[in-house]
Amino acid sequence: MIRLSVNINKIATLRNARGGNYPNVQKVAIDCERFGAQGITVHPRPDERHITRKDVELISPLITTEFNIEGNPTPEFIELLLKHKPDQVTLVPDDPNQLTSDHGWDTIKHKDFLIETIDKFHEAGIRTSIFVDPEIKIVEHAKHTGTDRIELYTESYATDFPKEKEEAIRPFVEAAKLARELGIGLNAGHDLSLENLRYFAQCIPWLMEVSIGHALIADALYFGLENTIQLYLRELRLD
């Protein structure tokens, strides 16, 4: 079964809007696991506009499934990761001013940097994944970085899915097939939702993990968090 990792950034955004500790991010992380999530994802940014460094410190020892930390591998980010040693780090080429992630790594241009960074995480026993666009050359050169996995950036799929789902999924299937041939593990994330998740999973059944935050938390406003997690897990069951 494809694993569901719940990104809890939006819970922290809601908390930060009023200060204090409500909703309690640590409790939500624990509850997401209790409700069936097979992992927890956070993406701390330099301005700490949602998940903070303190959140990472507090959440890390609570996770019993898989802890995935996303982010741009700045010296501060690398220091944070090596201190808390999550199960997985997902490297994302974020600009500090970006509202949200909007592109993957150029694995040709940044190959040497990625090799050096990934080596640091491997030495600490942390599995690595790098955020990439569904482009054949990018996936091909990801192999040379030594990464364990890639995470396919799925915004274009989500955008085009309502118009022509077969065309929307095509580059992702091609990229996923190449990753499998190269022996690279496969994750996916960004704008996946109850509307488009099942088709994505059906077309790429060897997908290992999806990281979903914004849509899942938005759906939880209507359906409740426990029920929403079960709805997403249902979409990933392909038997």
Residues carrying an active site annotation: 43, 70, 190
Single-letter code of the amino acid located at 41 = T
With H, G, I as helix, E, B as strand and everything else as coil, classify residue 186.
Answer: strand
The alpha carbon dihedral of 102, 194, 8, 221 has a sign of: positive
In contact, 9 and 49? CB cutoff 8 Å: no
What SS3 class is residue 46? coil
Torsion angles phi and psi, residue 71, rounded to 5: 160, 170
- Separation of alpha carbons 232 and 198, rounded Å: 9
In the chain, the DSSP E strands lie at 3-7, 39-42, 67-71, 88-91, 127-132, 149-153, 185-189, 209-212
Instruction: Please tell me the distance from the alpha carbon of residue 86 to that of residue 103, in angstroms, as a whole number.
Output: 23
Burial of 87 (0-12, 13-18, 19+ CB in 10 A): middle
Quote the strand ranges of 30-74, DSSP E: 39-42, 67-71
